[in-house]
Amino acid sequence: MGNFTHFNDQGRAKMVDISDKKESARKAIARSSVIMNKDVYENITLQKNKKGDVLAVSQVAGIMGAKQTSSVIPMCHPIPISGVDLSFEWASLDDNQYELIIEAEVKTKGSTGVEMEALTAASVTALTVYDMCKAVDKGMIIGQTYLLQKSGGKNGDYIRFKEDTDL
């Protein structure tokens, strides 16, 4: 386990200096989900939502969230994002429940990674789904949000193994 690098000599918070880090291609993929009842599922899939296309609006919100990460995460560096891609997959659960699985992939060429941007994109997407559908059911559950993989940088690649996703 690495050392925490966000503290100065006085033990106070600081933004890590990345000026000596090498620039490289970096990518991160994060996942989140929203568990909902059949009414919400049909509201989304049959495009009945009065606020508009839930997945399209949520996708745009996730992209905007990735771009704003350094504005809401204090020690995050503002970085030039070269790409954000969000994808959706449906899973049918027991008891007439459905899970919308959200994956966010973020890329950059820079001196620091995009893990926080991918996690933020996935989270904002899930929150937007909730916001757009809460009139139908406030009991939706935003599921676990986690990093699936990352590449680039001095620490190398990280891939969450399949069995690690059943947290």
Instruction: Find, among 162, 47, 143, the residue nearest to 91 by Cα.
Output: 143
DSSP-assigned beta bridge partners for residue 151: 27
Which residues make Cβ contacts (< 8 Å) with residue 126, sequence separation at least 6? 32, 33, 34, 58, 102, 142, 143, 145
User: Could you give the CA distance from residue 147 to residue 85 in angstroms, rounded to a whole number?
Assistant: 15
Answer yes or no: 131 catalytic.
Answer: yes
Q: Of 85, 131, 137, 157, which residue is the catalytic one?
A: 131
CB 93 within 8 A of CB 99: yes
CB neighbourhood size of 53 (10 A): 13
Where in the sequence numbering do the catalytic residues fall? 131
